[in-house]
Amino acid sequence: VSQELESSTSVGGQFYRRYSELVSAYGEVWPTPGLTSISATTQNRSASQTSVENTTVGMYVQEQLSWQNRLFLTGAVRGDDNSAFGVDYDFVTYPKVSAAWVVTEEPFWNYDFANTLKLRGAYGESGQQPDAFVAIRTFSPVAGPNNVGTVTPDNLGNPDLGPERGTEIELGFDAGLFEDKVGVEFTYYYQKTKDAILLREIAPSTGFSGSQWVNAGEIKNSGIELLVRGTPWETSRHSLELTFNLATNDNEVLGLGDVTDEDFISAGTYLRHQIGYPVGSWFSPRVVSAEFDANGTAINLRCDDGHGGSTDCSGAPNVYMGRTVPSTEGGFASTLTLFNNIRLFAQLDFKTGFTKLDGNYRVRCYFFAECRENWYPTEFDPAKIAEIQAAGTYAGAILDDADFLKLREVSVSYGVPSEWVSRVGARSGNITVAARNLYTWTKFMGLEPESTFNGGSRGGSFSLWEQNVLPQLAQLVVTFNVSF
């Protein structure tokens, strides 16, 4: 446009088709050794074929303005239609606008400690498409009486299903300090998702089973993302680099639209999407006090009434027991380089502000009576024993804070001298010894705060349910890389 103002316009279209097909064959028992094909098996032979297809047609137009290479303004709009939208849902458009200001390019900037500083802000709308075929009610082919081909109800579907729409505001800055020895990236985000696509269970009395995707009202997410990098020591042969990252999330269901008359929808056993609370939170009645009778049976149970008091447990409400998504997570990493070819690396990760269910404790103590709590109940808090003895009504005894700090990796890497590797015709070589998952600091009652088993009625992707799963194993990995 001029020497100071540049303009760039772009338009585009998109046709995106995702098609995946899985074909599998199964068989048992080869009659003699040496056979390897499925067709040579003699029992329970079966085959299956599934495919998923999803198509999106989209287009966009974007205009970007740049003034003196220090102020940038971008506006864009895109539109999509998708094969997975419900019958009653059509084309969707997403606008966005963003601005960035490189303050250090301004003549008035006289602060030497900050060699680069960019302020940025953005507003945008985006969408998340439903999965293929989930909107339509379907039957699946099965063998019927006398093995005739027939159909059975499969997916309940949802004719009103459309994309979820997110509106997000981001504010932040990128800074380089002390000649880039320290770098800071900071972002604050505030996101509102309308028509959030959530999975809800289906009551089997409908004739269908499993789950149904619904556009369930409004969800708010906000938080910060921080990355700090530093190089406190650097010479021609040695250096120390440190990195710290932190992300927080405040998540809340603001509304559930018209998919329910209640203030929640169930997401699985003890799990709800409930207005006023984070998505996929734990809910259960909670015993707050009890007494023991002469046999060690908990009696006179009182439960949380949800308003700071207590009530008789027979009609006690489900109360909030914690969120499944960590509210804070981050990590710290350091890399010490010595003599340019020895590299010592260590990384710590942490997650806090979430609650996990110990399913192993649940089955051992609630159902199989194999815990000390079952045989010597009076050694324990009667409120906890009351929950255990109720065998499933209450989740308080099996939910626990899952905060942890984990020494994720410690490694040492050595660059093998080139004259050594050149003997085998290589240009360079490197040997690394890494130890992973060395130690976890946590008060979580179960085996490990990170391992989960996700199952349909256990909450699917929202579930933090530990049962019959291995904890993350400590690993010692030795790697030898050679480049030719």
Q: How far is the CB of 382 from another protein (least distance, A)?
A: 21
Rounded to a whole number of angstroms, the minimum distance from the CB of residue 74 to another protein is 16
Written as one letter, the residue type at 284 is: S
Q: In the complex with another protein, which residue's Cβ is closer, 266 or 324?
A: 266
Closest CB to another protein among residues 362, 406: 362
Residue 445's nearest CA partner among 379, 349, 373, 393 is 373
Find out whether 251 and 218 touch, Cβ atoms under 8 Å: no
Q: How many whole angstroms separate alpha carbon 238 and alpha carbon 223?
A: 37
Nearer to another protein, 151 or 299 (CB): 151
* Minimum distance of another protein from residue 201's CB (angstroms): 5
Angle at 473 between CA 467 and CA 476, to 5 degrees: 175
CB of 133 to another protein, least distance (A): 5
Closest to another protein by CB, 89 vs 350, is 89
Residues 174 and 120: beta-carbon distance below 8 Å: yes
Nearer to another protein, 237 or 372 (CB): 372
Distance of CA 401 to the CA centre of its chain: 17
Q: What is the DSSP letter of 474?
A: P
Shortest distance, CB of residue 200 to another protein, whole angstroms?
Answer: 7
Smaller CB separation from another protein, 331 or 456: 456
Categorise residue 394: left if φ over 0, alpha if ψ from -120 to 50, beta otherwise.
beta
Least CB distance from residue 139 to another protein, whole Å?
A: 4
Distance of CA 439 to the CA centre of its chain: 23
Rounded to whole angstroms, how far apart are CA atoms 19 and 54?
Answer: 7
Q: What is the nearest approach in angstroms of another protein to the Cβ of residue 26?
A: 10
CB of 69 to another protein, least distance (A): 25
d(CA 284, CA 393): 8
In the complex with another protein, the residue whose CB is nearer, 51 or 479, is 51
Beta strand residue intervals within 258-397, DSSP E: 264-268, 271-274, 281-284, 287-292, 298-304, 310-312, 319-323, 328-338, 342-352, 355-358
C-alpha torsion sign, points 107, 110, 116, 121 = negative
CA dist 109 → 226, 272, 343, 461 (Å): 24, 52, 38, 49
C-alpha span between 469 and 356 (Å, rounded): 14
What is d(CA 151, CA 23) in angstroms, rounded to the nearest whole number?
21
Residue with Cβ nearer another protein (275 or 363) = 363
Residue among 191 and 269 whose Cβ is closer to another protein: 269
Contact 86, 58 (CB under 8 A): no
State the minimum distance, in angstroms, from the CB of residue 63 to another protein. Answer: 10
CA distances for 336 relative to 82, 195, 405, angstroms: 50, 48, 21
As measured in angstroms, the least distance from the Cβ of 206 to another protein is 6
CB-nearer residue toward another protein: 59 or 407? 59
